[in-house]
């Protein structure tokens, strides 16, 4: 049984690799009652370049789990009795709430973010500095991770220390062919710890380190790591406006969304009443008339 199952999965993987276009019936891997698992569902779960043996194992495990889940689902349907109605109601309520929530979030972002002026953001930033105190250090600069056997490494160690246009141009051209990581961020603030997570070195005091070091140069058995720190802001300081801007927009939207949703729902309600989209029953009409 296992041999035939593995052979079946092998055929599935072979067809997936060849990108064969098939009709729906030929695309079916397995079915349990009215539930059907298609080949495309599994192929989308397996990353490109995965070795055949690993792909086979992933597919086999997924198909087995899918079958077991489908069997348990069918047993549950047969044995839950009256509880099925309650579950269906809960599913309907959840679907209703999810559609409503998703649309409101989309509407809030589209309408409110477009109406937030630059002056609104700047005023909020100036008046709420305490909300933007950094819990991490920020830097601007340049980071490179280069294999130790890459050519002209000594030249790169000179270029990366300079922010001149000529040096940056040389680094960019060099990195296309040789660098494992090339991150240029002279024009934006990023988390210092995030950059250092790529470098095999431990720092006990970040603020002191940033005061005393404008460059970082570390080499292990495989790579050379080069970091040029153009500017830094230690933790405990107020975040610069350009770094805090996305957070400011979110805060302003949260401030305004309750009023916006109330007005939107009232407008929707009044238009629906006028347009006849809402029809009250006889009993409701009598209550309204009273």
pLDDT digit string (tens) for 257-269? 888 888 888 988 8
Among the listed residues 2, 1, 107, the one whose alpha carbon sits nearest the alpha carbon of residue 57: 2
For the segment 162-174, the average pLDDT, to the nearest whole number, is 94
Residue-wise pLDDT for 120-142, tens only, equals 999 999 999 999 999 999 999 99
User: Model pTM?
Assistant: 0.60
Q: Domain 135-233 falls in which CATH fold?
A: Chitinase A; domain 3 (3.10.50)
Closest CA to 29 of 48, 45, 42: 42
Per-residue pLDDT of 60-77, as tens digits, reads 888 889 899 999 988 988
Domain segments of the chain: what residues? 2-79, 87-133+241-290, 135-233
| pLDDT score for 55 | 80
Contacts 24+ apart (CB under 8 A), 147-155: 147/178, 147/180, 147/222, 147/223, 147/224, 148/219, 148/220, 148/221, 148/222, 148/223, 148/224, 150/178, 150/179, 150/224, 151/178, 153/224
Residue 190 burial (CB < 10 Å; 0-12/13-18/19+)? middle
């Amino acid at each position: 049984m296992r041999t035939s199952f593995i052979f079946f999965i092998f055929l599935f993987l072979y067809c997936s690799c060849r990108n064969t276009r098939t009709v729906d019936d030929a695309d079916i891997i397995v079915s349990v009652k009215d539930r059907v698992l298609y080949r495309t569902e599994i192929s989308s779960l397996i990353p490109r370049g995965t070795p055949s043996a690993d792909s086979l194992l992933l597919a086999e495990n997924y198909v087995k789990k899918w079958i077991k889940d489908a069997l348990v689902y069918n047993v549950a349907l047969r044995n839950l009795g009256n509880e099925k109605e309650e579950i269906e109601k809960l599913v309907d309520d959840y679907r209703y709430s999810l559609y409503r929530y998703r649309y409101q979030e989309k509407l809030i972002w589209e309408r409110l973010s477009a109406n937030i002026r630059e002056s609104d953001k700047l005023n909020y930033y100036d008046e709420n500095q305490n909300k933007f105190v950094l819990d991490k250090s920020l830097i601007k600069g340049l980071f490179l991770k280069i294999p130790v056997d890459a050519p002209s490494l000594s030249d790169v160690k000179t270029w990366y220390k300079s922010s001149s246009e000529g040096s940056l141009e040389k680094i960019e051209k060099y990195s296309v062919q040789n660098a494992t990581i090339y991150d240029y961020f002279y024009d934006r603030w990023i988390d210092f710890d995030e950059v250092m997570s790529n470098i095999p070195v431990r720092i006990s005091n970040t603020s002191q380190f940033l005061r005393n070091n404008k460059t970082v140069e570390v080499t292990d058995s495989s790579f050379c790591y080069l970091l040029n720190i153009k500017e830094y802001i230690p933790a405990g300081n107020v975040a610069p406006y350009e770094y805090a801007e996305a957070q400011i927009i979110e805060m302003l939207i949260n401030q305004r969304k309750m009023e916006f949703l109330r007005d939107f729902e009232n407008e929707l309600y009044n238009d629906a009443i006028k347009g006849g989209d809402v029809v009250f029953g006889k009993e409701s009409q009598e209550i309204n008339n009273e």
